[in-house]
Amino acid sequence: MSSAPRPGSPAPAADGPAGPAGPVWRERWWPAVTTWLSWLPAVAGGALIALPVLGPPGALAGALLGAALAVGVLMSMAATVEVSGGRLRAGRAAVPLRLVSRVEVVPAAERRAALGTRLDARAHLAVRSWIPTAVRVHLDDPADPTPYWVVSTRHPQQLADAIARGR
């Protein structure tokens, strides 16, 4: 039996020799199943475009090309949230944990307001529509006008705890 975390679940705190070099917490934002299913027409479309020109072998090649396109696009949407090395990284953006003043869990029921009517226009958003919960990471950096980050996560309390441990 393996002790590795399931895909999409947060990685446990690093122990042993890895220490601070390894991630304290990590989560991958895989697209929802419905998003994957929405790309099935790309597979069928590739087959249908190639069929009249190249026949059945071409249809198979077209379907494979459509599937490769779909997987490539969907994999590009799968970013990572990570707490490691004294930094919070969400996608390509990162912030030192020493600049974090506090972290709030944003439950699913409040997410819409947090990203709408109660959103500061200067906030940094690292969100995915298929992830219903998030955290609001308040920053204390006089050199940066960004008041906070809103970061999507399936495990908001665990991410908030990891940020607190990392500070």
* Confidence category of residue 8, pLDDT binned at 50, 70, 90: very low
131-163 confidence digits (pLDDT tens): 999 999 999 999 999 999 999 999 999 999 999
Q: Which H or E run contains 13?
A: none
Task: Give the whole-angstrom CA distance, residue 92 versus residue 111.
Answer: 22
Question: Taking 80 as the threshold, does the pLDDT of residue 2 lie above it?
Answer: no
How confident is the model over 58-104, as pLDDT tens digits?
A: 999 999 999 999 999 998 888 899 999 999 999 999 999 999 999 99
Measured CA to CA, the distance from residue 110 to residue 74 in angstroms comes to 27
Angle of CA points 86, 103, 30, to nearest 5°: 75
Mean pLDDT across 1-28: 53
Distance CA 94, CA 87 (A): 6
**E strands along 7-99, which residues?**
25-28, 80-84, 87-90, 93-96
Q: Residue 157: its pLDDT value, please?
A: 96
Does this model's pTM top 0.75? My answer is no
Parse the chain into domains and list their residue ranges: 33-76, 80-166
From first CA to last CA, the distance across the chain in angstroms is 34
pLDDT digits (tens, 9 = 90+) for 117-135: 999 999 999 999 889 999 9
Q: Which of these, 52, 4, 13, lies nearest to 166 by C-alpha position? A: 13
Q: What is the C-alpha R_g of the chain? A: 20
